[in-house]
Amino acid sequence: MTEATSGSKVAFHYTGTLNDGSVFDSSEGRDPLSFTMGEGQIIPGLEAAFEGLKTGDAKTVTVPADQAYGDRDPNAMQQIPRDQIPDNIPTEPGTQLQMQAPNGQAIPVVVAEVSETHITLDANHPLAGQDLTFAVEVVSVD
């Protein structure tokens, strides 16, 4: 049986959970997720866990935040004066919006806080700063 190594195409099913046991993502009811080892297509800590696995293998791995979506970056928080935000833009905390970077790239943000004078936007990945646990089952290794 083929072992997963750099260059292998791996297909797998997974369930991702947070430290409190809540599920943040799962392939249940969907096709397996596929990636090529060594190409950086999935988070580094999860990719490393597939090294040496074969079709049919199952494993649970905890990926520390720095090998997943990184630590929360306080510099990714930005306060915007309320009067600079058009009235038609929703500003309730938790609302997902997009900002445009100077290079034109769209940046997803979440409204973190709202005060009388400012709105705080958070551009951190929603899973930044969190250790992630994945229960994986290898469907195929090619």
Lowest mean pLDDT among 11-20, 23-32, 51-60, 85-94: 85-94
Q: How confident is the model at residue 101 (pLDDT cuts 50, 70, 90)?
A: confident
Which residues partner with 134 through β-bridges? Answer: 16, 61
pLDDT in tens, 39-50: 999 999 999 999
- Which residue shows structure tokens 């994986």? 136
Mean pLDDT for the chain? Answer: 96
Q: What is the reported pLDDT for 102?
A: 87
